[in-house]
Amino acid sequence: MKGGSNHAAALRALNAADYWEAPTIPTLLTRLGAALSTAHMGLRLYVAGTEGFIGQVMKVGTDAGISFLSIRTEHRGSLARRVSCVHCKGITENVTTNPATCSHCGLTLLVRDHYSRRIAAFQGVCIDAEVPGDVPPVEEAFR
Amino acid sequence: MSKNIGMQVVVTSVKQVADTVKCFRFVPVDGSDMVLPRFSGGSHVVVTMKGKDAAGNTVTYRNPYSLMSSPDDSSCFEISVLRTENSRGGSHFMHDQVKEGDILTISNPVNLFPVSAGGRKHIFIAGGIGITPFMAMMDALAARNGKFELHYGFRSRSHGAYWRELEERYGHSRVRTYCQAEGQMIDFGELLEHQPLGTHLYVCGPAPMIEAVKKSAREAGWPDENVHSEEFLAPPSGQPFIVKLKKSQRNIMVGEHQSILEALEAANVDANFLCRGGACGQCETAVCSADGEIEHNDHYLSKDERQSGKKIMICVSRLNGRELVLDL
Amino acid sequence: MGIQFKDETFRDSFTFKNSPQTIKRFPFPFPEDKYMYSVNIEPHVPGAKGSVYEHLFDVDEHYVSEMRDRALVLKEDPLRCQALPHMMTAQWDLLELIMECKSKSYPEHFTLEKQGDKWHWINRPLGIDDTFTFGDVSTLPYEPMEYITRQTQGDFAIMDQRDNNLWMDAGMVTTQADWSLDFDIGMNFMEWHGPVPLAHQMGVFERALKFLLNLQHGHPVRRLNWTMTINPRLDTSPENYHKWGKDRTEVTPDNVGDKVHLRVELQSLWRLPRSNAIVFPIRCYLIKMSELVTEPKWGRRFHRVLKDLPPELADYKGLTRYRDTVVEWLSKYDDGKPTSIGFGLD
């Protein structure tokens, strides 16, 4: 990942069985999925990064048959959340505020502390469903 | 509702299937409208036996046995019983007393050793009589095209039960047998290599074998979540002691070869149980005080719970001391 | 003979109401004048004739209309019914359980004939007559869970048991009190109950989980839960909250009797035999406030329960906006007289 490029030389020098720098999270996930599809028991998955990143990697791991209980994770960096809109099912990345706007359907969402591993996202529920427009002040909640 | 004493069945066949193993077939008692429930592979039933001890007194034995018949066949249940050398009475009773036409009481099936439904592949490792739960598991997996292999070790060809039938039914690619008398041993390390992600490992057999498999799996980097084992403990013997029931104000003597649960049942105290082998947690009982040291023999309580001295699994654990006060 | 099924709606025109006999059998959930979250589990065994407990899967006068409402929900949002791939054995277990129970309980409405794995199922109220091969998905119009729960009142969650936990890996959820199957599927017992206030500190879910892990086949259990719903709307899903949420602002002193409903869930839990999974049917019963107060004890008691409900529970259940209006309305039916402990009528 770009932010870590200054560590690249040091990491490469460790001579891992497979070392790969991905330009984006989606390309990394695709590559990881391919590597896991031919992997054997004994391979263990360790993930460090933001919450949204950890969630997406865990999903690739569990889709490959790894029990999430056996995946070791370490949170580093921003607390920004991936949020799944319960209404339109769209995922909004890098949500730092509560409430937040769904990037797909435009509803104002209350971001709940309710997390789905399968979707790798927190749940967002329309905050002004009862009285449209009655929205509390936006707070920087997840930095 | 946790009392699991269950249903009456009639024994329709008793077969010697190996040197020291007999197979028993049960069907519902004639004329009853009872139907045997379907069950999941890995389930066991607790069989209640009324026998006599050396002094001629009536004794009740209750032992858990894995169901080995096809889970999809609700016409009968089958179990296999190994005649153990240090039997507390149960296995000798089954071997020497039970004959065709006898009526026995069995519990509802309970599964403490299920196949992990989402597993990509399943590897079964059996030692001796430990083959029984795998027979029902393989039957169910084969019916839905699940991927599995069995590695089955036994002392000699005449000691091992069912190996010939299993080889015939599933073929040598899925069933491998290892005969100790012929110098064959399962190489756990080799077995655990090159297994695809999502493989689950199941082991049932003597305690040292279970430990060896778990150790090999850990060394090969397998997560604990993918390694499953079942071992029913027979309640160990020990010095007699007194159990005092705080709520019902009774004192009950627990004999040398009795478990606390058995002593309570003999005194007509209704206690909860399911597996009677220290695995399920159903008979967990609160300890008020102990004059002596509690010997925890179960697989259920955590280290902290044991150290707290406040809980005991009365099916297999006992007191090394004078008196144990239970909140019953 | 048999049940007279009503033709009514749970949306738009909202023509749902209970007949006097159905009011009498309403499973009023409060054994005393206050409410606290508890597990209150009891064996699910057949109960008094005419009660909702008479049969293990209760069918009532709303059956046909509720099934029509479910079909409408599924047409709009197919994700309300989902099953992870490893749950197929459990799906068949559930189909068998419901077909066996209903055909025994209501032979005039449902018939099941088996010849080996060739099964013949007749559902007269819904006009269904199907022959299929048990275990062969291709012989049914839907997967087995969807097939049978399109014909059975109540929501259904099926939990797989592994790693000493229960995992909600399949479900049919169209009449829910504000939870999303699509979001929650795959969660374990603790995660799924995450949003419930107060109960976690009490250790309620740990004890319940321990109990459920040892639940035995043939010994189902049940409990009641409750909330309130504005208008007789079955589909109060989070998915559609932005569409029905404004209902909560429309309660006035004049319309409480007809618009405000007590919603009781009869939840049961069953071990399934072949899969070792647990099925959790959540059957919803609605009653209008005007219907509720026809039973004096219920009017008195519900007034007291609602008035003293802890605010965090009122918030969790979504009652805060209209609670005072309803309490005020109910106060007319509470003369302050004592009520008897338990569910019996005064």
Q: List subunits contacting chain C, requiring 3 or more Cβ pairs under 8 Å.
A: A, B
Taking an 8 Å cut-off on Cβ atoms, the answer to whether A116 and C239 are in contact is no
| pLDDT of A13 above 80 | yes
pLDDT the model gives residue C8: 98
Closest CA to B137 of B161, B155, B154, B119: B119
| pLDDT of B25 above 70 | yes
Domain contains C345: no
pLDDT the model gives residue A1: 46
| pLDDT of B17 above 70 | yes
| pLDDT of B2 above 50 | no
Q: Nearest chain C residue to A131 by CA: give it.
A: C246
pLDDT the model gives residue B257: 82
Measured CA to CA, the distance from residue A70 to residue A9 in angstroms comes to 30
Q: What is the pLDDT along chain C (346 residues), one digit of tens a residue?
A: 689 999 999 999 999 999 999 999 999 999 999 887 666 788 999 999 999 999 999 999 999 999 999 999 999 999 999 999 999 999 999 999 999 999 999 999 999 999 999 999 999 999 999 999 999 999 999 999 999 999 999 999 999 999 889 999 999 999 987 789 999 999 998 888 776 666 556 677 777 888 889 888 988 999 999 999 999 999 999 999 999 999 999 999 999 999 999 999 999 999 999 999 999 999 999 999 999 999 999 999 999 999 999 998 899 899 999 999 999 999 999 999 999 988 888 7
Domain contains B321: yes
Nearest to A112 among C195, C240, C244 (CB): C195
Domain contains C342: no
Nearest to C276 among B40, B72, B280 (CB): B40
What's the domain range around B156?
Answer: 121-230
pLDDT the model gives residue C197: 60
E-state strands within chain B:
7-18, 21-28, 43-52, 58-66, 77-82, 103-106, 110-111, 121-127, 148-154, 175-179, 199-204, 227-230, 241-245, 250-254, 284-295, 311-313, 318-326
Count of the separate structural domains present in chain B: 3
- Helix C296-308, helix C323-331: angle, nearest 10: 140
Residues of chain A contacting residue C195, judged by C-beta atoms under 8 Å apart: 112-114
Q: Write out pLDDT tens, residues B195-237.
A: 999 999 999 999 999 999 999 999 999 999 999 998 777 788 8
pLDDT the model gives residue A6: 76
Closest CA to B152 of B120, B188, B116, B128: B128
Query: Would you call B197 an interface residue with chain C, using a CB distance cutoff of 8 Å?
Result: no
Q: List subunits contacting chain B, requiring 3 or more Cβ pairs under 8 Å.
A: A, C
Domain contains C12: no
Taking an 8 Å cut-off on Cβ atoms, the answer to whether A44 and B195 are in contact is no
Residue A90 has a CB neighbour count (10 Å cut-off) of: 15
pLDDT the model gives residue C35: 85
Which amino acid appears at position C178 of this protein?
D
Shared domain for B160 and B196, answered yes or no, is yes
Confidence of residue B1 (pLDDT cuts 50, 70, 90): very low
What's the domain range around C321?
Answer: 20-331
Shared domain for B137 and B91, answered yes or no, is no
Taking an 8 Å cut-off on Cβ atoms, the answer to whether A66 and B193 are in contact is no
Give the end of a domain, one of B195, B230, B265. Answer: B230
CATH number for position B262: 3.10.20.30
| pLDDT of B292 above 90 | yes
Question: From the candidates A67, A83, A116, A134, which should be mutated to test the interface with C, based on the most C CB atoms within 10 A?
Answer: A116
pLDDT the model gives residue C39: 64
Instruction: Quote the tokens at residue B73.
Output: 């066949």
pLDDT the model gives residue B23: 97
Residues of chain A contacting residue B222, judged by C-beta atoms under 8 Å apart: 41-42
A31-55 burial, b at 16+ Cβ within 10 Å, e below that, comes to ebeeebeebebbeebebebbbbbbb
Confidence of residue B273 (pLDDT cuts 50, 70, 90): confident
Shared domain for B80 and B48, answered yes or no, is yes
ipTM of the complex: 0.86
Taking an 8 Å cut-off on Cβ atoms, the answer to whether A113 and C194 are in contact is yes
Query: Would you call B226 an interface residue with chain A, using a CB distance cutoff of 8 Å?
Result: yes
**C195: cis peptide before it, omega within 30°?**
no
Closest CA to C298 of C31, C13, C10, C18: C31
Confidence of residue B65 (pLDDT cuts 50, 70, 90): very high
Question: From the candidates A118, A119, A127, A134, which should be mutated to test the interface with C, based on the most C CB atoms within 10 A?
Answer: A118
pLDDT the model gives residue C202: 61
- Between residues 69 and 108 of chain A, which touch chain C (CB distance below 8 Å)? 69, 84, 86-87, 89, 107
B64-100 burial, b at 16+ Cβ within 10 Å, e below that, comes to bbbbbbbbeeeeebbbbbbeeeebbbbbbbbbeebee
Taking an 8 Å cut-off on Cβ atoms, the answer to whether B108 and C218 are in contact is yes
Location of structure tokens 């039997």: B87
Residue B237 C-alpha, separation from nearest chain C C-alpha, in angstroms: 27
- Helix A51-63, helix A25-37: angle, nearest 10: 30
DSSP string, C16-62: ----HHHHHT-----SSSS-------EE----STTSTTSSSS---TT
Q: Write out pLDDT tens, residues B230-256.
A: 877 778 888 999 999 999 899 999 998
Taking an 8 Å cut-off on Cβ atoms, the answer to whether C248 and A130 are in contact is yes
| pLDDT of A4 above 70 | no
Taking an 8 Å cut-off on Cβ atoms, the answer to whether C43 and B1 are in contact is yes
pLDDT the model gives residue C200: 58
Measured CA to CA, the distance from residue B229 to residue C101 in angstroms comes to 35
Domain contains B116: no
Closest CA to A59 of A99, A15, A91: A91
Count of the separate structural domains present in chain C: 1
Confidence of residue B144 (pLDDT cuts 50, 70, 90): confident
Residues of chain A contacting residue B147, judged by C-beta atoms under 8 Å apart: none
Shared domain for B103 and B125, answered yes or no, is no
Query: Would you call A69 an interface residue with chain B, using a CB distance cutoff of 8 Å?
Result: yes
Domain contains C316: yes
Closest CA to A35 of A61, A70, A72, A62: A61
Instruction: Quote the tokens at residue A26.
Output: 């989606």
Instruction: Quote the tokens at residue C131.
Output: 């022959």
Domain contains C9: no
Average pLDDT over chain B reads 91
What ranges do the domains of chain A cover? 1-77, 79-143
Taking an 8 Å cut-off on Cβ atoms, the answer to whether A41 and B225 are in contact is no
Active site residues of C: 223
CATH number for position B139: 3.40.50.80
Query: Would you call C246 an interface residue with chain A, using a CB distance cutoff of 8 Å?
Result: yes
Torsion of CA B73, B77, B80, B84, to 10 degrees: 160
